[in-house]
Structure 1
Amino acid sequence: MRSALCSGSLLALLHVTPCLWIGAFNIEDFGPKKSKDDFVMNHIQRELHFLQIVLRYDIILIQGLQDKDLSVTKRLKDLVNKDSQHFSNILSEPLPLSSSILKFWTDKERYLFLYRDKKVTVKDSFQYTAKGFDRPPYVVKFSSTETGKEFVLIPIHTKPDHAVKEIDALVDVVAAAGKKWNNNKNIMVLGDFNAGSRYVKVKKRNKKNDWDDIPLFTNKDFHWLINDNVATKVDSQQAHDRIVVTTEMEKGVVEGSAKVFNFRKKYDLNQAERILFE
């Protein structure tokens, strides 16, 4: 099973300090079974692996969360707030929404944002419901508590075999967010795009280049902060995870700050310790 690294971007809202760290993390099918495994959770708590990952950021998107009764979310939130941190959360309904799609899925996933409520507040949110996604984005508008500047985060975790179709449809989500919130152009799309060449084909000989038909990639109003040559999966040299920003949002991103955080290398995790993330 693929295991995600953690990608993040240092965001300075319209060059106004202080800066905000924003990240995305796919914890791969994390549900009650893993959450209730006291050995795993206590070990992670003791070694601060999961906690240290979250505490690097002011806003972090968690993907792969399977949580029907919100017990897992509560457990994770209690963990990060144990030492008097101030993290709040906002999360989507279980996805996919369609019952016709659900019959092919054993578990639904939620998008979860954990955020430092002393630095940012949630102003509004909406669930994108138009066709085109297996796990449609749950769009959230945040505001800096110190500057009052507002910005929009659009999470995405594509289904691998539908990656091209779903990445293609992301421009419609960006447009919907801008229309809903008075033409707000401070927008970031982040998450597991499954954008490696295994699913999004690059041109080789006479084969079609999928990127040529993806407006989020070809439109110069969008800027990809994680490039093709950056490995975002432990067992792959491809960039599945991406961060894409609008031109207006790019003005506030500290140059060169969008990087992949290899938590396994940082914390020297052995195979047994990787259970939480695999």
Structure 2
Amino acid sequence: MKLKNLLPLLFVFLLLTTLFSGCISLADNGTDVNDSSNSSQNASNTTPDNNSGNGSGNGSGNTSAGLENETKTCGICGEDLRPKTRVNVAAFNIQIFGASKSSNPEVMDVLAKTIRNYDIVGVQEIRDASGDSLPKLVDLINNGTDENGTPYNYDYVVSDRLGRSTSKEQYAYIYNKDKVYVASEPITYPEPDGTDPFEREPYMVTFRSNIGNFDALFILIHTKPDDAKNEIAELDRVVEYAKTIYVGQENYVIMGDFNADGSYFNESGSSDLKSDKYVWLITNDMVTTTKTNNTYDRIVITKSLEPYVTGNVGVYNYSAAYGLNPSQTTAVSDHYPVYVEFLAWVGEWGRMLFMRMSSGIVA
């Protein structure tokens, strides 16, 4: 029988195998793409203790794949896994986040509820020399359960205090451990000798989804307004540097308060970060600030991540979501979070069928 006559039979066989063989467990424990001396994922499959997020840019908040990365897929098994195949990401400049703001219960409640909407949140403008405000916020985020009664399970990694002036700031990634894990050593971009392009050097780390094959290196930035044009252009060089450290990594998410509008940046002009390597997901018509009509905050991805973008991209207006008046809104921040939803698994069914065939699993 000719091959073309066998193809319909093969398709039917694969379809029936998928539908009626129930759930299988697939371990997605491939080789770490971040093949560098900074990666801590190649040697350990343990989960850190509850204090693991209290690092300062040296990776003490890392988790590893282990059983967290076990992927369950099924044909007809009574469980809808689709809600688990998304990774929601946001960047949020929490204006002057420190002791004063963290002592305001109403503000902290809005922040906690907002961050729970996402699996990875890049926080900027943390100004607290005591270091107490961020863990206080994460504790509040974890104080409760979701609509299914499951306790929240967030952790964080945080940078050193950065800035040329005495007014230092920190970056942090707050992340949902039930959805993603830290897959590389968090590092602060080391500016080349003799240069100082950034007021606050970008903070980068790799996240991977526990279910699926989503994997990306995140770069978080809060530019100095008056230098926004130059700092935004310099982010392309940060990506090129990261490729030499995170060998094999092609997926990048650059996000944060770019100050990419108004008198600081010609949002319709050219930039090294606007080459055909990148996609700007937060567009010029989106308002990301609470007091102006500017689009300061951005999420930019490399084109390799385009297949993962669901199209759910925008600005989260917490004022409208929680019925806040203007003074309550600005007490939280002068910025709204910007967000994007990624698929956790691109080619999910094709990959499942391939693994069934290659593993010799039959109905």
Question: Residues 166-181 of structure 1: matches in 2 within 5 Å?
Answer: 166-181=231-246
Match of 2:112 in 1: 51
Runs of 4+ in 1 over 4 A off after TM superposition: none
Distance 1:258 1:44 in 2: 25
Distance 1:50 1:197 in 2: 27
Question: Residues 17-28 of structure 1: matches in 2 within 5 Å?
Answer: 18-28=85-95
The verdict on how the C-alpha distance between 1:44 and 1:160 changes in structure 2, with shifts beyond 3 A counting, is closer
Match of 1:206 in 2: none
C-alpha deviations, 1:19-41, integer Å up to 9, x for none?
A: 10000111111111222x3xx22
Residue 313 of structure 2 is aligned with which of 231, 235, 258?
258
State the one-letter code of the partner of 1:268. Answer: G
Match of 2:256 in 1: 191
Distance 2:117 2:160 in 1: 26
Structure 2: gaps (5+ residues)? 1-81, 145-150, 335-363
Match of 1:132 in 2: 197
Match of 1:94 in 2: 161
Question: Residues 135-214 of structure 1: matches in 2 within 5 Å?
Answer: 135-201=200-266, 211-212=269-270, 214=271
Match of 1:75 in 2: 136
Shift of 1:176: 1.5
Match of 1:233 in 2: 289
Shift of 1:156: 0.8
3-state SS, counterpart of residue 152 of structure 2: coil
The verdict on how the C-alpha distance between 1:158 and 1:237 changes in structure 2, with shifts beyond 3 A counting, is same
Compute the TM-score of the two structures, normalised by the length of structure 1: 0.81
Residue 64 of structure 1 is aligned with which of 114, 125, 141?
125
Match of 1:116 in 2: 176
C-alpha deviations, 1:170-220, integer Å up to 9, x for none?
A: 001111122211131110101110001321136xxxxxx7x32x1111x11
Q: Percent identity?
A: 30
Q: Which moved more, 1:144-153 or 1:162-171?
A: 144-153
Shift of 1:276: 3.3
Distance 1:175 1:226 in 2: 22
CA RMSD in angstroms, aligned pairs only: 1.8
3-state SS, counterpart of residue 266 of structure 2: coil
Work out whether residues 30 and 276 of structure 1, in 8 Å CA contact, stay in contact via their aligned partners in 2.
no
Shift of 1:150: 2.2
Whether 2:266 is the aligned partner of 1:216: answer no
Pick the structure with greater CA Rg: 2
State the one-letter code of the partner of 2:122. Answer: L
Distance 1:144 1:229 in 2: 30
3-state SS, counterpart of residue 289 of structure 2: coil
Shift of 1:271: 4.1
The verdict on how the C-alpha distance between 1:245 and 1:268 changes in structure 2, with shifts beyond 3 A counting, is same
Structure 1: gaps (5+ residues)? 1-15, 203-208
C-alpha deviations, 1:46-72, integer Å up to 9, x for none?
A: xx4222201110111111111223211
3-state SS, counterpart of residue 258 of structure 1: strand
3-state SS, counterpart of residue 308 of structure 2: coil
Report 1 or 2 for greater relative contact order, CA contacts < 8 Å, sequence distance ≥ 6.
Answer: 1
